[in-house]
Amino acid sequence: MLIAFNKPYDVLSQFTRELPTHKTLADFDFPPDVYPIGRLDRDSEGLLLLSDEPAWTDQLLNPRNSHPRTYHAQVEGVADDETIQILTRGGIKLDDHLTLPCRARLIEPTYPPRDPPVRFRKNIPTSWVELTLTEGKNRQVRRMTAASGHPTLRLIRVAMGNLSLQRLDLAPGAWRKLTEAEIDLLATRPTPRLPSSSDRLRRSTSPGGRGRHRFGR
């Protein structure tokens, strides 16, 4: 089973509540035994997949599979062609990692205001950039746009593979099971495998999941 969820802002991509005030996936009445495939940061929005099949995690997140993920970033200042060149050519240093080349372009989407609103700086305009990455380092899009001189103010993941939020037509906070045709838009289906002893140990000790059955990262 694969589920698509339009994660709102200020929701943790996990079922465990770290503080009483935190919103988590536990607040959205998902079926039992499903877990997030990867994550979106608390301050990010958009498409998050959940599944009860561990093979999907490797298929969609392992860098060797070069699975594309597309984001819309509202950034501080007016991004221009030079900004796009910096983002697309790769080589932005993130700790000990240099980013791979990616696809990027300027866009003008019409999203409704975020709740709570983005904190704008007075007299400084904003603009939007679309980025498609095949890697997923910690807060990578935000760090890349900051390196280009345009810190991210709002970040929305709009697609994984060819499966887009627009096609799914999910309001923020809504979810549903994917159809067979929608699953085919993601990527080649993974070959199921039996969990190894190390998998079972990792699930039993990994934080942030549902007790002993968490997978993913």
Strand 175-177 with 2-7, pairing: antiparallel
What is the enclosing helix (H) or strand (E) of 147?
helix 140-147
Catalytic annotation, pick one of 41, 52, 58, 184: 41
Residue 116 burial (10 A CB sphere; 0-12, 13-18, 19+): exposed
The DSSP code for 181 is H
Tokens (6 digits) for 182: 């929608």
Residue 163 near residue 4 (C-beta atoms within 8 A): yes
Active site residue 41: yes
Q: Are 56 and 2 in contact (CB under 8 A)?
A: yes
Angle at 75 between CA 72 and CA 78, to 5 degrees: 115
Residue 52 phi/psi, 5-degree rounding, is -105, 15
Task: Indicate the helix (H) or strand (E) that contains 132.
Answer: strand 126-133
Asked if 101 and 90 touch (Cβ cutoff 8 Å), the reply is yes
User: Which among 201, 198, 169, 199 is positioned nearest to 182, based on CA atoms?
Assistant: 169
The answer to whether 188 touches 179, Cβ cutoff 8 Å, is no
Residue with tokens 């221009």: 80
Residues classed as catalytic:
41
